[in-house]
Amino acid sequence: MKLPSSLLTKYIILILCALLVWPLIPALYYFPTKFTHHKTLYDTKELEDKWKEEATNLNGATERMINQRLQAINKLYPSAELFWVNSSGETRFVQSRIPNIPEQWTYTEIVLFMENSHQDDSLKLISLIGNDPNQGFMAIQIPKTNLIQYSGPYKTDYLLSLVIILACTSLTLISLLFFLRIRKRLVQLQSAMTVTSDNEIPNEVIVQNEDEIGKLEHAFNKMITQLKASRNRERKEEILRRQLIANISHDLRTPLTIIRQHAYTIQKEPASEKAVLSIQVMITKLDDVGRLIENLLSYNLLMAGKVQMEIKSIDVVEEMRKAIAEWYSVFEEKDFEIDINLPDDSLIWKVDSIWLRSIFDNLFQNILRHAHVGKYVGVEIVERNGDTFLIIKDKGMGMDTKSPQKGAGIGLGIVAVVTGEMNLHWNVSSSSRGTCHLLGENLNKT
C-alpha cells in the first residue's frame, strides 16, 4: 500500500492541518491590529487603567519625582506627548513644549481640552495626581493610529470564540465530507456485490483511487474475473463431459458389438476354426475395453487431483527404449514402418517415470488407432534453439480428419494433464501428411 494514497495518510494530514491552524487563530485575530504598518499599538482600556494607576501612585510626590516618572513613562510610549499641571495651574512639559498647550491653565481651558480629546487624531487622557484636585493633574496624548480601539469588555473574547467556533465547524464539516465520501464508495461496492448480471455474477466496479478502498475494489474485480473464468471453465467442462460420455458410449458399443457377433459364431460352431479366430478377436476387443476403462479411471483421478507423482531425475531415452520394446511387436504386426533415432547419450528430465510411460503409451495407442493409414511411427531426439526435445510422429491423415475409430480422446486428455503436472511442454502439429508430438522438459520453453 502506497502511503501517499492511503486513507489513513489523508486523514492524518487533515488532523495535522487542523492542529497547525489552531495556534494561528490568536495570531490571525490580533495581526490586523497589532502589526499594521509595523507600528507599536497600545490597548486603549489598558492605557487608561495604567495612566490612572500612575497618577494615583504619585500622591504627594515632588515636582522632581513627577518629572522623572513621566520621563520614564515617555520612554515606554515614545509616540506619546506627556505633560503635567501643578496645583497653581502651571504647565510642566516632560520633553519639549507641546503646541496648543497653554502655559497657564484655567477651568475653561481644561474643559476645552477634554472636549477636543475626541475630535482630533489623538487620544487625550487626564488623571488627577493622587486623585486630589489640589495636587494638579497629568495628561498624555497618543495618536489614534497607535491604539487598539476598545469597544467593550467582551469584544476580544467574543471574536476569538467566534473564530474558534468557525474553525471547529470547518474541521467538522471537512471530516464529515471525508467520511461521507468513504461511505459512498463502500455503498457502491456493496451495491456491486448485490446487483448481478444475466449470468448471476456481480459486475465489476470502477476503481477511482489507489487507497485502501481502491485495493479492496481491485481485489473484488479480481475475484469477479476469477469467478467468470471459473464459470467458463465449468461450462466448457460440462460440454467436454457430455462429449466424453457420448464418445465413451461409442468406444464401448463398437467392441461389444464385435464381441457379441463373434460370441454368436462360437455358439453356432464351437469347434470350428472360425470359432478359434473369433475367440482371439474377442480377447483383443476385451483388451481394448479394459484399456479404455483404465484410461478413463486414470483421467478421472488426474482431473480430481488425487494422483501423487514422484518427481525425480529420469533418463528419458532409456524410458523410451523400454516403451518401444513393448510396442514394437504390436506395430510390426500392423505392418508399421518403425523409425527410431535415439542417441546413445542420456537425456535427464525431472519427471515421474510411471506417468511418463503413460504419455508414451497413449501417444503410441493414438497412432495405432488413428494413423494406421500411414503405416509409420517415428521417434527421435532433436535440438532446437539450444533445447532438447523428444518427437513422436506418424504419417496419418492428421487429427482434423475423421477416423472410423474416432473415440473419446481420453488418451490425449491424459497426456495434456500429465505434461502440465510434470511441468513439461507438449506441442502438437498436425496436417494431412501426419501428426508430430513434441515434448520438452521446461514449460516456459518453446
Domain boundaries, the chain: 3-34+154-190, 37-148, 221-301, 310-440
The CATH H-level (homologous superfamily) assignment of domain 310-440 is Histidine kinase-like ATPase, C-terminal domain (3.30.565.10)
**Paired residues of 313 in beta bridges:** 350
Output 375 or 179, whichever has higher pLDDT: 375
Share of the chain above pLDDT 70, in %: 76
Split at pLDDT 50, 70, 90, the class of 377 is: very high
CB-CB contact of 129 with 55 (8 Å)? yes
pLDDT value for 273: 78
Report phi then psi at 53, rounded to 5. Answer: -65, -45
Split at pLDDT 50, 70, 90, the class of 35 is: very low
221-301 is classed CATH 1.10.10.10? no
pLDDT value for 390: 94
Question: Average pLDDT in the 328-333 region?
Answer: 85
Average pLDDT, the chain: 78
119-133, 198-212, 317-331: which is most confident: 317-331
pTM: 0.43
Split at pLDDT 50, 70, 90, the class of 36 is: very low
pLDDT value for 37: 43
Q: Is the pLDDT reported for residue 55 higher than 70?
A: yes
Pairing assessment for the beta strands 42-43 and 147-148 based on DSSP bridges: parallel
Share of the chain above pLDDT 90, in %: 13
Query: What is the fold of 37-148?
Result: Beta-Lactamase (3.30.450)
Residue ranges of E strands in 306-375:
312-315, 337-341, 348-351
Give the C-alpha separation, 194 to 345, whole Å.
Answer: 63
Question: Average pLDDT in the 350-378 region?
Answer: 87
pLDDT digits (tens, 9 = 90+) for 107-146: 777 777 777 766 667 888 888 888 888 888 999 888 887 7
- Cα distances from 300 to residues 199, 304, 366, 423, in angstroms, run 28, 6, 19, 20
